[in-house]
Amino acid sequence: MQDEPTPIELIKAVADFLRNEITPAIKGHNAFKLRVGINALDLVTRQLTLADSGDAAEHIRLKQLLGTDGPLIELNRALSDKIAKGEVDLQTPGLAEHLWQTTMDKLAVDQPNYGSYKRELGKK
């Protein structure tokens, strides 16, 4: 692939074109399907832009909480098992902060316009 435009720039350009040029001309159920498609493109753009850094930070927090290393999915399963067994809870140092930050990082990708997410961002 060429250096420019980047995949993120290409996806964003397609989404912007559909949003600004095509959406006004489409009506009815096809307009709904078009909005779903645009939302999917926007989500992919956010995933490509934000998800890696969020996953890396989550991985570091999980390694600290669990005192072990491994793939992110396995560390999440291990933490879930410990929570289910009552071995860790919200009194465990760092757990509440980890859960909160993981939630915020995932909302930044999945639902950045969610009202409660935006309110929490405004508190910082």
Question: Model-level pTM greater than 0.75?
Answer: yes
* Tens-digit pLDDT profile for residues 36-84: 999 999 999 999 999 999 999 999 999 999 999 999 999 999 999 999 9
DSSP run (H or E) holding 56:
helix 52-66
Neighbours of 113 (CB within 10 A): 7
Cis peptide leading into residue 5 (ω within 30°)? yes
Domain assignment present for 53:
yes
**Structural domain total, the chain:** 1
Domain assignment present for 2:
no
Are the beta carbons of 20 and 41 closer than 8 angstroms? no
Q: How many helices (H) and strands (E) does the chain have?
A: 6, 0
Domain assignment present for 1:
no
* Tens-digit pLDDT profile for residues 16-31: 999 999 999 999 999 9
- Give the whole-angstrom CA distance, residue 76 versus residue 22: 41
User: Residue 99's domain spans which residues?
Assistant: 7-123
